[in-house]
Structure 1
Amino acid sequence: MKIDINGVNYYYSWLTPYEAGRATLVCLHGFTGTSQTFEPVFQEQQKLNILAIDLIGHGFTDTYVHPYRYQMACLCDDLACLTEQLGIFSFALLGYSMGARTALSFACRYPEKVQQLILESGSPGLETNSERRKRRFSDKHLAAFIMKHSLEEFVAKWQQLPLFATQKNLPLESQSAVHQERISQQRFGLACSLWFMGTGAQPSCWEQLSELNMPILAIVGESDSKFQQIAQNMQKKQPSLSIDCLAQAGHCVHLEQPRTFEQKVLAFLERGSTFAD
């Protein structure tokens, strides 16, 4: 389904039949992904509504809009407006990778709306100006590659990143589904995501971590040492943040270990306020 948010058509999908009065979990996908990435995850009958959203420039959400709409603050404002239009004023929030950066940014901007926060392979951005400048250069270089080459060439390059090495162990059917999801994108949307809301472009959330009061869970894969370290550094800033490191998984934990991921997410939500509301 689509909904107009200040001139941008956002696509959203209910992964469970919507029931008024039930608590809601909102899911945000990663770079080159769509809301469909979470469809294989939540298989059991749920006690809550599960809503997945195609972020701007991805999937069926509009791509060719003014670039400022890709900025992290604008995206967070759009998500606030979208959920409110659906009658959801507070919810649990789950994000993967780019979606985790978005989820954390949203929680910092709208803390009153987020009951519980789940960050899968996520980060609060980069702490220093020099780190952000270096990453912006890298992101601009990658965006230029995307615009100068075919989507198939970019996806082939993207899938060879060490970050995704463990995905080569997935069944061929799963690998094919991920590949199809990636090549279904629009090059302009991916480039704008890098230019305007990439890790180098987004404001850092490190200092705001300590101010968050909602329960926070960081989920990482045991083969993803980079994001394990980021999660541990986040925990130093926010001691109430808990970390689950899942075995036999890399960066995309929900793809590589969907049943264990589902169990961890639901157990975390049951410990908090989501099911109680």
Structure 2
Amino acid sequence: MHLNFKKIGSGKPLVILHGLFGSADNWYSIAKELEKTYTLYLVDQRNHGDSPHADEWNYKVMVEDLKDLLDQEGLEKVYLMGHSMGGKTVMNFALQYPERVEKLIVADIAPRYYPVHHQTILEGLNAIDLKTIKSRKDADDILGQYVSELGIRQFLLKSLSRDSNGFVWKINLPVITKNINNVGEALESDKKYEGPTLFLAGENSNYIQQSDLSDMEEFFPNYEVEFISGAGHWLHAEQPNAVIEEVLKFLK
């Protein structure tokens, strides 16, 4: 699969993958600073953003999508970074293809299993009838019955687009809804990634906990953890300067 991506900046390649319901656009605020030092590849994973839709959606195929992208771009070895679902993708990739990863950065996700906790969001998104809504406000009013936080609704509705026939989802909502269990899967491998690995954790997030450190060490023995003060799960949006500082310090 040919993933959509945006290539900016100059220097050693740094490939960044977004999380569930997101897209490459989520990383623009971070990219403005990092592109001064690195060539950034901001990637839309399958069934998200402007990348193709497909019925198969799991970490096995997302890892192969990423490998195909590196092969297509002639990238032998890269710095690799992923947030949440993207973090699971890059962890799996580093275990499968360690020779392709110079350094690994995982943003606010651990190797363990996460139970499904997006059902209310999915109910809200599926409640939006694209054939009847007349405006984005109509969509927001419906979604607001399920998701009270304005910021989360604004993030989700970035995937609502328009074409000549009306409103369309950039995300493959039916496939994501059907296969949502795949997102929380734990890493299962007898391999290790021995390269330098940085886990970034939101101080106010519960995605990375003290009990996760043993799993991190099992798969990524050369790891470190940095907590971002004042940040929740979307740490790159909430505290972009702190994330940029930690990324630059680790990569240099």
TM-score normalised by L of structure 1: 0.72
- Of 173, 177, 189, the residue aligned with 1:190 is 173
Distance in 1, matches of 2:146 and 2:198, equals 28
Amino acid at match of 1:107: A
Deviation at 1:156, TM superposition (A): 3.8
Which residue matches 1:74? 61
Helix, strand or coil at the partner of 2:222: coil
Which residue matches 2:225? 243
Deviation at 1:47, TM superposition (A): 2.4
- Of 54, 58, 70, the residue aligned with 2:48 is 58
Distance in 1, matches of 2:122 and 2:153, equals 24
Which residue matches 1:253? 235
Q: Residues 49 and 159 of structure 2 are in contact (CA less than 8 Å); yes or no, is this contact kept in structure 1?
A: no
Q: Comparing 80-89 with 42-51, which one deviates more in the overlay?
A: 42-51
Q: Residues 120 and 147 of structure 2 are in contact (CA less than 8 Å); yes or no, is this contact kept in structure 1?
A: no
Q: Mind listing any 5+ residue stretches in structure 1 that lack a counterpart?
A: 169-174, 271-277
- Of 120, 123, 142, the residue aligned with 2:110 is 123
Moved over 6 A (4+): 138-142
RMSD, matched Cα: 3.1
Distance in 1, matches of 2:38 and 2:170, equals 35
What whole-Å deviation, never above 9, does each CA across 1:34-93 have from its counterpart, x for those lacking one? 101111113335222111110111111112x3x12x222112111101111111121011
Q: 1:140 to 1:40 in 2, by over 3 A?
A: closer
Q: Mind listing any 5+ residue stretches in structure 2 that lack a counterpart?
A: 131-138, 162-167
Deviation at 1:107, TM superposition (A): 1.2
1:123-142 pair list within 5 angstroms: 123-126=110-113, 135=115
Distance in 2, matches of 1:176 and 1:203, equals 25
- Of 23, 26, 45, the residue aligned with 1:37 is 26
- Of 150, 153, 158, the residue aligned with 1:181 is 158
Deviation at 1:233, TM superposition (A): 4.1
Distance in 1, matches of 2:246 and 2:213, equals 18
Distance in 2, matches of 1:158 and 1:14, equals 36
Helix, strand or coil at the partner of 2:213: helix
- Of 47, 67, 77, the residue aligned with 2:37 is 47
Helix, strand or coil at the partner of 1:49: strand
Deviation at 1:200, TM superposition (A): 4.2
Amino acid at match of 2:84: S
Deviation at 1:255, TM superposition (A): 0.4
Distance in 2, matches of 1:125 and 1:142, equals 22
Aligned length: 235
Q: 1:266 to 1:47 in 2, by over 3 A?
A: same
Q: 1:215 to 1:38 in 2, by over 3 A?
A: same
Identity %: 22
Are positions 1:215 and 2:202 aligned together?
no
Q: Greater share of helix residues, 1 or 2? A: 1
Distance in 1, matches of 2:211 and 2:43, equals 25
Deviation at 1:98, TM superposition (A): 0.9
Q: 1:125 to 1:159 in 2, by over 3 A?
A: farther
Q: 1:188 to 1:85 in 2, by over 3 A?
A: closer
Q: 1:82 to 1:157 in 2, by over 3 A?
A: farther
What whole-Å deviation, never above 9, does each CA across 1:220-258 have from its counterpart, x for those lacking one? 111113423465343443443101101111111110111
Q: 1:113 to 1:156 in 2, by over 3 A?
A: farther
Helix, strand or coil at the partner of 2:52: coil
TM-score normalised by L of structure 2: 0.78
Helix, strand or coil at the partner of 2:209: helix
Q: 1:246 to 1:51 in 2, by over 3 A?
A: same
Deviation at 1:26, TM superposition (A): 0.3
Deviation at 1:142, TM superposition (A): 6.4
Which residue matches 2:136? none
